Copies of this chain bind each other. A is one copy, B any other.
Amino acid sequence: MEHEAIVPVILCGGSGTRLWPVSRDSMPKQFVSLTGTGRSTFQDTVLRVRGHGFMKPVVLTHGDFRFIVLEQLREIGVEADIVLEPERRDSAPAVAVAALVAQQRGAIALVVAADHVVDDADAFRRDCQAAVPAARSGALGDGRIMLLGIAPDHPSTAYGYIAVGEPIGPDRAAGSFEVARFIEKPDAARAAELIEEGCVWNSGNFLFDPAVMIEELEQGAASVLDGARGALEGAMRDLDFLRLDAASFGKAPRISIDYAVMEKTRRAGVVRARFGWSDIGAWNALYDVLPRDASGNVVEGPVSLAGTKGSLVRADGILTAVVGISDAVVVATPDAVLVTTRERAGEVKGLVAQLHSEGREEAGQHRRIHRPWGWYQRIDIGTRFQVKQICVHPGARLSLQKHFHRAEHWIVVQGTAEVTIDATVKLVHENEAAYLPIGCTHRLHNPGKIELRLIEVQVGSYTGEDDIVRVEDVYART
């Protein structure tokens, strides 16, 4: 089979609260190591859409995540075009942007979510290639929007289903079928019937000729297309990112691609995928895809179990002991613990909404906060003081800043810091300290080749993050 150029567009703007407390707004599930590969599902997704026939990927994400995306791409050594959505507006505007970008590249678009798990990357790529002929429009093609349909391995109530119709074209594109109809998330009994009838799961990942998607959007959701077009035309290059124009993008209605196009179009097709798949939409779904021990437990981190069966226990650096419980979900992080059952794991989303409404910082914020220059993490707080560990990447520099209510002591514990205090610039080495009096203008820079780590002790009447005046910032945050 001849290969067709495919441009992968990876959607990773989601917030993933259903895997709280590991996944939070400040670092949602697609960026977290969840599946035992040592990489995030975003990284695994990027690595999955590479190889012969796949072009440089496009990553469509939210501005808040731009530096996480950049760092995670650097970790796996992959280059991508990063397009920033000014705000979250559901999937149709994102797919419209994907179609317009793919049209510029003259390639078939493959739109994939960054937070899905696939058990066989080779099979995934083969299935994508197999869908291309049916997706191709023009003289030789049918111009279908080709969905990747997944063979169900259990009667899931968490996924939509697709009734598979007739084969598309008898002489080519073997394995491509018409979509007879879409079925929304069913109850368990109905799900079993659908599987009996040969239906497949709708993975929400799909392949299309940009011209076809643009036509369909024009007919079904013209304002979405207009917004996306304007957002791209007005886009600004900002460091390594392409920042979509906010005013235009903001005019695109909030609507999913399912409602805007897929459920109306007569041009939907589906391939019967030959890989295992999950959207790990909740902790029980993660349990389902991970290897279990003899007692049916999935364990990660410093965990001790006694008389425990069928449970998912994840401990991020905090000893977690579970005694005499079955089918539980226990997730412990340094500042938040979740205990539920596999059956009730779907309620976590509601729990997080409740925690937000109670004003709990842990609902959305991780303890470690990522910044363009590295990260910081609070390690202690008390009356009139706070202590942080700060990590600065090689070459990176924080903004030139000052505080009105706190002095800071910096003790370098790894690497070398270049510290600017008012008019003075000095190097501070491991086991050396610098003192920043209240009100001084200061900057921290890592001039070295290894990560700079330092302990910051803040002392003052107020140690909140908002006591900061940014005088100058290489990351354009002033």
Contacts and interface: CB of A to CB of B under 8 A. Distances in A.
B304 A358 contact: yes
A46 interface: no
A407 interface: yes
Which of A318, A339, A389, A433 has its CB near the most chain B CB atoms (within 10 A)? A339
Contacts of A322: 338-340
Interface stretch (A74-82, A87-95, A286-294, A375-383): A375-383
Contact of A341 (B318, B325, B336, B383): B325
A335 interface: yes
Contacts of A453: 382, 385
Given A318-B336, A323-B340, 18 more contacts: A306-B350, A318-B335, A320-B336, A320-B337, A321-B336, A321-B351, A322-B339, A330-B339, A379-B387, A380-B389, A382-B389, A383-B414, A407-B431, A411-B457, A411-B459, A430-B459, A433-B435, A457-B457
A431 B459 contact: yes
A341 B324 contact: yes
Contact of A344 (B307, B350, B383, B411): B307
A343 interface: yes
Which of A319, A343, A360, A414 has its CB near the most chain B CB atoms (within 10 A)? A319
B387 A455 contact: yes
A59 to B, nearest CB: 31
A334 B307 CA distance: 24
30 contacts: A21-B319, A302-B360, A304-B355, A318-B335, A319-B337, A319-B360, A321-B339, A321-B355, A322-B338, A322-B339, A323-B339, A323-B347, A323-B348, A324-B343, A324-B344, A324-B347, A325-B328, A325-B339, A325-B344, A330-B337, A330-B339, A379-B379, A379-B380, A380-B387, A382-B413, A384-B430, A385-B455, A409-B433, A411-B459, A457-B457
Interface in A165-218: none
Interface in A369-412: 379-380, 382-385, 387, 389, 407, 409, 411
Contact of A385 (B358, B413, B433, B459): B413
Contacts of A307: 344, 347
For the complex of A and B, 4 pairs with smallest distance between CB atoms = A324-B344, A385-B413, A323-B340, A431-B459
A453 B381 CA distance: 12
B306 A347 contact: yes
Interface in A349-374: 350-351, 354-355, 358, 360, 362
Which of A319, A321, A341, A457 has its CB near the most chain B CB atoms (within 10 A)? A321
Interface of A: 21, 302, 304, 306-307, 315, 318-325, 328, 330, 332, 334-341, 343-345, 347-348, 350-351, 354-355, 358, 360, 362, 379-380, 382-385, 387, 389, 407, 409, 411, 413-414, 430-431, 433, 435, 453, 455, 457, 459-460
Contacts of A460: 431
Contacts of A389: 380, 382, 387
A360 B351 CA distance: 32
Contacts of A414: 382-385
Contacts of A330: 337, 339
Which of A330, A409, A460 has its CB near the most chain B CB atoms (within 10 A)? A409
A332 B332 contact: yes
A384 B431 CA distance: 10
Contacts of A319: 21, 335-337, 355, 360, 362
A340 B324 CA distance: 6
A237 to B, nearest CB: 37
Contacts of A343: 324
Given A433-B409, A455-B387, A321 B304 contact: no
A88 to B, nearest CB: 24
Nearest to A458: B413
A203 to B, nearest CB: 28
Contact of A339 (B328, B336, B355, B380): B328
Which of A315, A340, A380, A411 has its CB near the most chain B CB atoms (within 10 A)? A411
Contacts of A324: 340-341, 343-344, 347
A28 B354 CA distance: 35
A329 to B, nearest CB: 9
Contacts of A457: 411, 413, 455, 457
A421 B325 CA distance: 54
A76 to B, nearest CB: 24
